[in-house]
Amino acid sequence: MNFNIRLQNPFYVDLRSLALIRILLGFLLLSDLIIRGGDFFIWTTDDGVMPRHWLIDWNSPWRWSLYFISGHWTWSALLFSASAFSALMVIVGFKTRFFSVLSLVLLISLQNRTPLLMQGGDSLLSAVLFWACFLPMGARYSLESVKNSLDPIKDHHKGLVNNHLSISSGAILIQAMSVYFFSAFLKTGAEWQLNGSAIYFALHLDDMTTGLAQYWRDYFWLTKPLTHYVWWLELLGPLLIFTPIANTLFRYVFIVCFITLEIGFLLSLQIGLFPLISITSILFFLPNHFWDLAERKVVLEKQQKLTIYFDQPCGFCRNLCLILRAGLFIPYAKILPAQSIPEVAKLLEEEFSWVVETEDGRRTTKTEAMETLFRSSPVFWPAAPAIRLINKLGDKAYRFIGEHREEIGARFETVLPIDRQYKLPGKISECSAAIILLTVILWNISTIPDWRKSFSSSGEETAPLKIPFPSSLSPFLRTFRLDQTWNMFAPYPTRADRWLVVPALTSDDNLVYLSTGSPAMTETKETELKNIQVFENYRWRKYLHNLGLARFEKFRRYYGDWLCRTWRDGERPELRLQGLHIYQKRQKTHQPGEEPLPVTAKRIWRHWCDKDKADSIDKQIDLKLGIAAN
């Protein structure tokens, strides 16, 4: 592989990378909605665990949300549906900038409505989506990109410039690397910089780790060098990837390094979509060389002699061919009027159909022509056999469209005006991006509590060197959730497992143990709550983890209220709760080679479904637990 060793501007992005990332962002937004969707009634309505009246008072005034308009489930369902539709429009590239902005508004609204579910991946997703609003995400492989030249009937792919260099392209690349770079400066603990025990302790947080991680986490001979590798990669990788000399080579090297790091997180830690969002952000660095090589080896060979013929008087037919070329990722396919070749024109008249000609000269029509295009697609080729199965139905549909193409075409042009040229971001957009980028960089710098400590490992006590952030700019960043802090496992991983146990008294005076609203369970099973597999998804784990923090103490009241309203015994649904206690269990992580340490418990909340019987309920729960009241 020959790389040209020359000076390159390291802040460009490839428009084909933007197309890939646009599609991935849309699917990530849909995945997030699916994960939350099963419990949207619990998370986003006034009958759930976070009622609006309390959340609005508790939240920063800059944490706005469309979900604050109403606490009824129908409003939440409407916003969820709008989010899903907007994400789909981002995927297909229809009015990309508008729906990117709408997706951002809906995403921030959802995040501000559910602060106890937030994690680093959510912050990165909203940040990437924010910068995507400034980028030409729909310039390639989208409904908007079907007319990328003045004469789309000719081979449109020749002469297209895929490099995009702008302030916003530099901003998204800097954002992607800020996650690692500033995280390294926040990892000041000896576990990262000296003794190399950080990964060992991180993988002993049982509520986060996978079964695979639990298999190898005690191999300190492996976790120690990996710890040092991760810290140095996060520190130096974001700098070297912007090297202007042989930038393509450095991009390849660190794309591989960072993606394999994220794959390691994905296999070892159950932190939801975070690794997938990080991988998506890293793909902004895919160089031109990657796409040019992929097109030559994968795309060009199949498509260089593929020709789509349409009926010249039919503008709708031409536009549909343009959409198929963009949507099926067959950019090298030629689109020509059938009347330009007499034999093809005759076939079109006989079959009353469009015509697709393959590299071997074979000509197909109607549904078989569609199958030919799918078979030539580097992405959708597996669907080709399915199209063959519906050949007769497809021919009927094509005949109907052909008979009504003028009426369908007129409506089609109203919704999707193909003849509009795709516009790149203008000067106002770029100037805004520059100002915001500088503000975000300054914010990230201000998150480092002591720059002296970041650069020195000596134990000398010195006054911390912290660069302050102008308070007047803070509201803007909070409004768009750009107030980011990349402090996962920083300054060092937590050295103890914490999980909640909820013993409750039922209406027949029996003791049960609750887990996220599940039926009664034994204390032995409840103790296993530190294993994430007990939870329905990582959102529940994050919520219950945060519920144990002092910062979120007052949220426990609404969790208790929700349990009182909704808990039902699986075998005796007539039973209700009288009250419950929330205990936080804690197990300190043992040093490598030592035996596990004992589990301790502390009651952090008491809740009564019937407040008139508070004293009686507390006494009965303590009696059945065999402990004295705290």
Q: What is the 3-state secondary structure (H, E, C) of 282-338?
A: HHHHCCHHHHHHHHHHHHHHHHCCCEEEECCCCHHHHHHHHHHHHHCCCCCCEEEEH
| Number of domains forming the structure of the chain | 4
State the DSSP H helix or E strand holding residue 356, giving kind and residue range, or none if neither.
strand 355-357
Where would I find the beta strands (DSSP E) of 139-226? Answer: 163-165
Nearest to 308 by CA among 329, 328, 331, 338: 338
Question: Looking at residue 604, what DSSP letter applies?
Answer: E
Q: Is residue 161 part of a domain?
A: no
State the burial class of residue 255 (Cβ atoms within 10 Å of its Cβ: 0-12, 13-18, 19+).
Answer: buried
Domain for residue 472, yes or no? Answer: no
Torsion of CA 308, 312, 316, 320, to 10 degrees: 10
Please report whether residue 431 resides in a domain.
yes
User: Are 15 and 124 contained in the same domain?
Assistant: yes
> Do 104 and 153 meet the contact criterion of CB atoms below 8 Å apart?
no
Asked if residue 439 is part of any domain, the answer here is yes
Q: Encode 448-472: b = buried (16+ Cβ within 10 Å), e = exposed.
A: bebeebbeeeeeeeeeeeeeebeee
297 CB burial (10 A radius; 0-12, 13-18, 19+): exposed
Q: What is the pLDDT of residues 547-583, one digit of tens each?
A: 999 999 999 999 999 999 998 887 888 889 999 999 8
Residue 586 and residue 600 in contact, taking contact as beta carbons nearer than 8 Å: yes
What SS3 state is found at 121? helix
For residue 460, is it within any domain?
no
Radius of gyration over every alpha carbon of the chain, rounded to an integer in angstroms: 29
Contact present, 100 and 129 (Cβ < 8 Å) = yes
C-alpha triplet 122, 24, 482: angle, nearest 5°: 30
The kind and range of the H/E element at 30 are helix 15-37
Q: Are 338 and 349 in contact (CB under 8 A)?
A: no
Residue 162 lies in a domain: no
* Helix axes of 427-446 and 167-186: crossing angle, nearest 10 degrees: 10
Same domain, 223 and 255: yes
Q: Is residue 174 part of a domain?
A: no
In 3D space, the residue among 139, 17, 204 whose CA is nearest the CA of residue 593 turns out to be 204
Give the end of a domain, one of 92, 119, 143: 143
Crossing angle between the packed helical segments 167-186 and 274-282, to the nearest 10 degrees? 130
Task: Note whether 50 and 123 are same-domain residues.
Answer: yes
> Is 152 a member of any domain?
no
The residue out of 118, 143, 168 marking a domain boundary is 143
Determine the pLDDT at residue 565: 92
pLDDT digits (tens, 9 = 90+) for 233-255: 999 999 999 999 999 999 999 99
Are 241 and 251 in contact by the 8 Å Cβ rule? The answer is yes
Burial of 141 (0-12, 13-18, 19+ CB in 10 A): buried
Do 96 and 241 fall within a single domain? Answer: no
Q: Say if residue 277 is in the same domain as residue 371.
A: no
User: Distance (Å, rounded) from C-alpha 521 to C-alpha 202?
Assistant: 29
pLDDT of residue 86: 97
Residues 124 and 210 in one domain: no
The pLDDT value recorded for residue 124 is 97
Residues in Cβ contact with 488 at an 8 Å cutoff, skipping those fewer than 6 apart: 120, 183
pLDDT at 409: 65
Question: Beta-carbon neighbour count of residue 270 at 10 Å?
Answer: 20
Between CA 484 and CA 127 the distance in angstroms is 9
CA distance 402 to 616: 78
Question: Which domain, by its residues, includes 36?
Answer: 11-143
Reported as type and span, the H/E element at residue 560 is helix 556-566
Same domain, 139 and 19: yes
pLDDT given for residue 384 in this prediction = 86
Residue ranges for the chain with pLDDT beneath 70? 1-5, 147-160, 298-302, 304, 402, 404-406, 408-422, 454-461, 515-535, 628-630
- Please, which residues bridge with residue 581 across strands? 606
For residues 20 and 121, membership in a common domain is answered with yes
- Residues 79 and 188 reside in one and the same domain: no
One domain, residues 315 and 395: yes
The CATH code of the domain that includes 354 is: 3.40.30.10
CA-closest candidate to residue 178, choices 235, 118, 247: 235
Cβ(88)–Cβ(26) under 8 Å? yes
- The domain boundary residue, chosen from 143, 166, 199: 143
Look at residue 457 in the predicted model and tell me its pLDDT. 55
Residues 191 and 83 in one domain: no
Question: CB count, 10 Å around CB of 54?
Answer: 14
> Strand 12-14 and strand 163-165: pairing?
antiparallel
Q: Quote the CA–CA distance of 160 and 162 in Å, as a whole number.
A: 6
Does residue 430 share a domain with residue 372? no
Type of residue at 239 = L
DSSP code at position 163: E
Q: How high is the pLDDT of residue 276? A: 97
User: Is omega for the bond preceding 491 within 30 degrees of 0, making it cis?
Assistant: yes
- d(C-alpha 463, C-alpha 479), whole Å: 32
